[in-house]
Structure 1
Amino acid sequence: MSSLGGCSGGGGGILGPALRELAAQHSIVRILPLDVENSASIQETFVSVEDQLQGLGLNLLINNAGRIIPHSFLSESEESMHQLYQTHVAGILKMSQMFLPLLKKAAQMGPQDSLSCNRAAIINISSAVGSITEIYGWHFGHVLSYCCSKAALNMLTRCQGLFLKEEGILCAAIHPGWVQTDMGNSGSLKASLKKEESVQGMLKVLSSLSGKNSGYFFDWEGKELCW
């Protein structure tokens, strides 16, 4: 299985020393520099990944880049809105477009009976705060640009699912929970979910996804979330 997780300099996932430690423990992990807000960086990473795959396809692209700017409705700025849309939407779209040839190759080489993450898939790490129905956590802080950009990412995922289904590529959005990361613990309230719990849950969800789930929105425990 060949997979790639996309991050940016402002990501809220495993960063810096923790990522290097993970790579040191597992020889199959390769670290490549990638900034999803920079098209040239995405192109360079694509070339590196294509070279390392040596003719094979990429069966799993996980778009995990994320950042948060804690503005409310009154303090929100045009600049921060643009910045987060660039990270959460435009950058993810560019990643999907750039790596599509490798994903299509994996889809063609993999099992043909059903869509799955073992065949070819794009997984976008979203957030329940992007659910227009739920607006999860609004009473903790409005983070308007984060909510709006994650809602847009959910729409992108829905469109990807419709468009890429014919290519044999599964697409889904996953809310990882409120996780104990640098970003998750950046405010006055601290996250309760450990990284290991979130990752184990998401891996279980990924292993269960099929064509009927393409373009949908789930949480780390497998619950389908409302748009």
Structure 2
Amino acid sequence: MVCLLGGIPWERGSRSRVLGVRRCRDSARLGKAEVLHSPSCLAMPTWSPLLQELQDLASKHPNLVIIPLEVTDPASIKAAAARVGEHLGGSGLNLLINNAGIVKLNSLDNETLEDMTQVYTTNTVGPLMLGQVRPLPELGCSTEAQRAGVMGSCSGGSIEEVYLWDQIHVVSYRCSKAALNMLTKCQSLGYQQHGVLCVDLHPGWVQTDLGGAASQKPPVTVEESVGGMLKVLSYLSEKETGTFLAWEAKVVPW
């Protein structure tokens, strides 16, 4: 299995950096070949412990390959896709996880155009551009590849639930994730001809820096979340494409 983890953002307030590293660790230890995409700002000294953990993982597991990627930069996406194609040869890509995401802790009253634009660009436009770039949509067409494109989301994008509104508003984040849900549905229809399965996958309310931004302690550990998501990914079929699932395999309302 070859997995492409599409970007780990290092913006303040992003839980993706922690969950992304744990996904890499667990997949690498399971012996699954994983290609990790991370933006150039991965070298920021603030996050040196996680950077060191990634480097240690790569040194211990030759099936883990670290490739630079900035999901808001089309040129970076194109260059990374080319390297992925070179790495895979004709074997095909099994799994794309759009892991990158940022949040701005703004309320409805103080949300700004600048913050909304930045959050949308990373959380919604980034996954769109990753899906568009060639050869990614065709990498799974090999007979050796059973592929799923996973557009990482969270219940913060659920219009029905509006999860944890009383504790944290994060308006731009919620709107970007709701838009990502629609994008995933569109991709599930548009990429169907390539045999690509597209789902939204909610990691849960996890004990990370973002999860801890609310007033209560999150109930889900990083290990539980990542383990659950990997289990869900292992059984995806045509029946699940275009759906919104949680880490424990429950259906999340749109």
| TM-score, normalized by the shorter chain, greater than 0.5 | yes
Q: Which of residues 174, 185, 193 in structure 2 aligns to 1:147?
A: 174
Matched, 1:94 2:121: no
Is contact 1:103-1:121 (8 Å) kept? no
SS in 2 for 1:31: strand
Matched, 1:12 2:39: no
Q: Counterpart in 2 of 1:115?
A: none
SS in 1 for 2:114: helix
Q: 1:172 to 1:16 in 2, by over 3 A?
A: same
Unpaired stretches in structure 1, ≥5 consecutive residues: 111-117
Is contact 2:130-2:136 (8 Å) kept? no
Q: Counterpart in 1 of 2:148?
A: 121
Is contact 1:103-1:120 (8 Å) kept? no
SS in 2 for 1:30: strand
Is contact 2:106-2:170 (8 Å) kept? yes
How far apart are the structure 1 equivalents of 2:110 and 2:131? 32
Q: Which of residues 131, 135, 141 in structure 2 aligns to 1:107?
A: 141
Q: Which of residues 186, 205, 208 in structure 1 aligns to 2:232?
A: 205
Q: 1:22 to 1:194 in 2, by over 3 A?
A: farther
Per-residue deviation, 1:205: 0.7
SS in 2 for 1:109: coil
Identity, in percent, stands at 45
TM alignment of 1:28-67, pairs within 5 A:
28-67=63-102
Per-residue deviation, 1:188: 5.0
What's the C-alpha RMSD, in Å, of the aligned pairs?
Answer: 1.7
Matched, 1:25 2:60: yes
Matched, 1:80 2:115: yes
Give the counterpart letter for 1:93 in structure 2: L
Give the counterpart letter for 2:151 in structure 1: N
Q: Counterpart in 1 of 2:39?
A: none
How far apart are the structure 2 equivalents of 1:77 and 1:133? 24
Per-residue deviation, 1:26: 2.1
- TM-score, normalised to structure 1, is 0.90
Give the counterpart letter for 2:92 in structure 1: G
Matched, 1:214 2:238: no
How far apart are the structure 2 equivalents of 1:25 and 1:178? 30
Give the counterpart letter for 1:224 in structure 2: V
Per-residue deviation, 1:207: 1.3
- Total equivalences in the alignment: 219
How far apart are the structure 1 equivalents of 2:195 and 2:124? 22
Per-residue deviation, 1:103: 4.3
SS in 1 for 2:97: strand
Q: 1:152 to 1:220 in 2, by over 3 A?
A: same
SS in 1 for 2:201: strand
String of CA shifts for 1:11-48, please: whole Å, max 9, x gaps.
53234233223323322111111110111111111111
Per-residue deviation, 1:108: 3.8
Unpaired stretches in structure 2, ≥5 consecutive residues: 19-49
